[in-house]
Amino acid sequence: MPPLADDLRGLLQLFWSRLARLLTGTPPQTIALTGVLGLAAFLYGIYQLRQAGKRRSGTSPRRAAASRAAFQQQQQQVQSSSIAHQQQSTPLQPACAQQSHILKASQPAAAASAANTAAGLAGAVRAQLAGVSIITMSAPGVLLQETEPHQLQDGACMQESAAEIVGAMAQVANVFILAQVEDEIGEATVRCALEEAELLGLKQGQVKPHRLLFCSTLEGKVSMVRQLEPGLHVDAAAATIESLQRFMPQLLYIQQAHLPPPASGSNIGIARSLAEVFQA
């Protein structure tokens, strides 16, 4: 029997002995009857509370174990779902990685012909310029056959297919044409050649007239390109390409047969003409 029950039994026996003495006329000596009754009631209440607590504690371990098992199972399900999701997901490529391609004449002729047949020149240009919103290009050596400023004093001739290709570029990006000239005569010569090719104008596929810019030095051309911050710059001067290599994401060097290429770089593409790049 629990100790508390023994204490209670002892108190009850004391209570009955005290009660018998009172009934027989013997006066109480140390503990009053009311004190004994109160203490007995108090201990009896504690005894009942302990018994109720034991009854509740008899089932709590099972309930706790069941709760822990359910929680662990839920955690395992969440972890399994997370692992499966990670295995099925494909990480996104950064924007800079998607736009890091360099224009170059590396596409096989047969594949290029099939692509142009399916989508035309506009489709080929759009595919090559994916992600590029601003393009700058030098007119001498890229759009014009003349490569030096002094050659523009006597006249200018368009490169084959150049106007058509630049017109396709103007439909997918903002195109700026730069020309290094000696004076106003050179400016007039370049503008006249581009207007005769119907490359300048306000129609779709034309370069807006105010986007034809002139300079008198190589440094001036480099400064204009840096201010415009294009995604692609096209030039036929190796010195310009080398000066812009540190600042431009993509550079395309149109190499003349008699001129050496610029210093190599991961952001520099080389071709003989725009037509070679876009297989026009």
Contact between 102 and 267 (Cβ < 8 Å) = yes
For residue range 190-238, list pLDDT tens digits in order. 999 999 999 999 999 999 999 999 999 999 999 999 999 999 999 999 9
Contact present, 224 and 215 (Cβ < 8 Å)? yes
Q: What are phi and psi of 253, to 5 degrees?
A: -100, 120
Residue 181's pLDDT is: 97
pLDDT at 110: 41
- Looking at residue 124, what is its pLDDT? 87
Structure confidence at residue 109 (pLDDT): 42
Return the structure tokens found at 27: 């006066």
* 264 vs 241: CA distance, rounded Å: 10
Q: What is the pLDDT of residue 23?
A: 56
Residue 171 has pLDDT above 90, yes or no: yes
Is pLDDT of 268 > 50? yes
Residue 8 has pLDDT above 80, yes or no: no
pLDDT for 27-45, tens place per residue?
544 445 555 555 555 566 6
- Rounded distance between C-alpha atoms, residue 203 and residue 159, angstroms: 21
Give, rounded to a whole angstrom, the gap between the first and last alpha carbons of the chain: 105
User: Between these two residues, 138 and 97, which has the higher pLDDT value?
Assistant: 138
Q: Is there a contact between 248 and 76 (Cβ–Cβ < 8 Å)?
A: no
d(CA 40, CA 194) in angstroms, rounded, equals 116
